[in-house]
Structure 1
């Protein structure tokens, strides 16, 4: 990346870390959602730091001494699971604070509903880390928290909605599913919006709706209680979540663009079929001079 691009990313990420202090723009909440899908990678930063500080850079991944890192630096370690939980919760906490700040600025109750989604996300990640550390005793608690979080997130982020929360000032019960604003009445394509940017690829909208719902419940792969493959299943779940976020980006940004058009927050100036002979500033100055001459004539 170019130096200006790197500096831009650093500034926006730093602003995300100070969420709630400044007004929240669309870019801030969009970037926060990207980090929420990277919670697995962020939480594993502790393992990377722990491994290289304890074992250095000279060990092979198959070295028996390096294999001890799974017990000393892994999520099941007594000293480590808290760090995994803290790092993974940070993106959800940032979005939680952003939602509260947006509620303070707009007084829209829907922002409290949005804050609740990220609050439940924090609870689920904490319960997951606690289950991996504690064992089978807290497994059912994790399943309950994950079910509530998935249902909440699907209802809010994927769409049967009458309109977008960013576009219309509706009640909470009408705008509770807002990110994509699908299932609008009288749409050309059933279950989609009336206005589509990617009209030639309508089938991908249906694929996104189904895949988004399925990946929201990807935690079901943890039901198989064989601990020998838990790391692999966790990795697969994290990759699928990142793929879900990639397709989410297209339709979320598209929905935001359509909302801006509906609210006339963006316009495109069209050229007039004729030209002005005089410069507008010069014409205004000439009118001002004529008015001044009239006033002086009256006073004299």
Structure 2
């Protein structure tokens, strides 16, 4: 990532490093599209980020004792901090956008990420207590359902602008770019909801795959969901830019304009 030589796509690597740095300084500057778009990508990498601690801890205690570093150990707060970091960044970005624009939609969006932080807090507390059917389990299920419904609704109505009435294709929108792949939209709607509720895979306690295998399956499916989400999200952003006349292309003029030679008495014909 930090290789200074102009090989292995140096400009792309440095672009990524620069934008990750901007994420870590969210709230100190104006939030642009790249900032919150990258933040959304990292929200789908919770499995990867939370396991960075597990990976480092396994080196410390030895890989034969890596289970000591799991969420049931006393070290779970470190994994939780890494897991909720993308949500915290997006929450700060939403608050900053509200301060700059005074649009309450940004606060509503921020509420989604705050709900996600509470969801992961309840999850790690539940796992730390041995995955018992107790109060922490009830709160985890409650906030899991709330966050999944919240996020799915925001995906459809705001990020994708779907579920519009009186359109050519039911539950879609008036303008579409991928007109040759209409079934894709319906597949995206259904699969997006299913993966948003993938946390239910953790509930079974008997006759179920190992919890770490279930974590991997959930993380992998969330990665695919975000990959799919990006196509419709960028399509919606492009259409919104067109509607608000933000898509422009500067055409170079065949001459230069010099203010010093433009006199007040010059006419339009001149």
Same fold (TM over 0.5): yes
- Is 2:201 the partner of 1:203? no
Q: What CA distance in whole angstroms lies between the structure 1 residues aligned with 2:180 and 2:209?
A: 45
TM-score normalised by L of structure 2: 0.88
Displacement of 1:140: 2.0
Taking a change above 3 Å as real, the CA distance of residues 68 and 260 of structure 1, as seen in their structure-2 partners, is same
Give the equivalent residue in structure 1 for 2:65: 68
In the alignment, which of 162, 170, 177 is matched to residue 190 of structure 1? 170
How well do the aligned residues superpose, as a CA RMSD in angstroms? 2.3
Displacement of 1:184: 2.2
Give the equivalent residue in structure 1 for 2:57: 50
- Is 2:96 the partner of 1:101? yes
Contact 2:58 2:65 in 1 (8 A): no
Q: What CA distance in whole angstroms lies between the structure 1 residues aligned with 2:261 and 2:11?
A: 45
SS at match of 2:210: helix
SS at match of 2:40: helix
Give the equivalent residue in structure 1 for 2:236: 255
Residue segments in structure 2 that go unaligned for 5+ positions in a row: 1-7
TM-score normalised by L of structure 1: 0.80
In the alignment, which of 31, 34, 42 is matched to residue 35 of structure 1? 42
Q: Across the two proteins, how many residue pairs are aligned to each other?
A: 256
SS at match of 2:150: helix
Taking a change above 3 Å as real, the CA distance of residues 279 and 289 of structure 1, as seen in their structure-2 partners, is farther
Taking a change above 3 Å as real, the CA distance of residues 290 and 207 of structure 1, as seen in their structure-2 partners, is same
Moved more, 217-226 or 192-201: 217-226
Q: What CA distance in whole angstroms lies between the structure 2 residues aligned with 1:289 and 1:68?
A: 83
Taking a change above 3 Å as real, the CA distance of residues 289 and 133 of structure 1, as seen in their structure-2 partners, is closer
In the alignment, which of 244, 257, 265 is matched to residue 281 of structure 1? 257
In the alignment, which of 144, 151, 161 is matched to residue 149 of structure 2? 151
Q: What CA distance in whole angstroms lies between the structure 2 residues aligned with 1:97 and 1:44?
A: 23
Q: What CA distance in whole angstroms lies between the structure 2 residues aligned with 1:279 and 1:49?
A: 61
Displacement of 1:194: 0.8
Displacement of 1:267: 2.4
Displacement of 1:142: 1.2
Q: What CA distance in whole angstroms lies between the structure 2 residues aligned with 1:140 and 1:287?
A: 75
Residue segments in structure 1 that go unaligned for 5+ positions in a row: 56-65, 160-176, 292-300
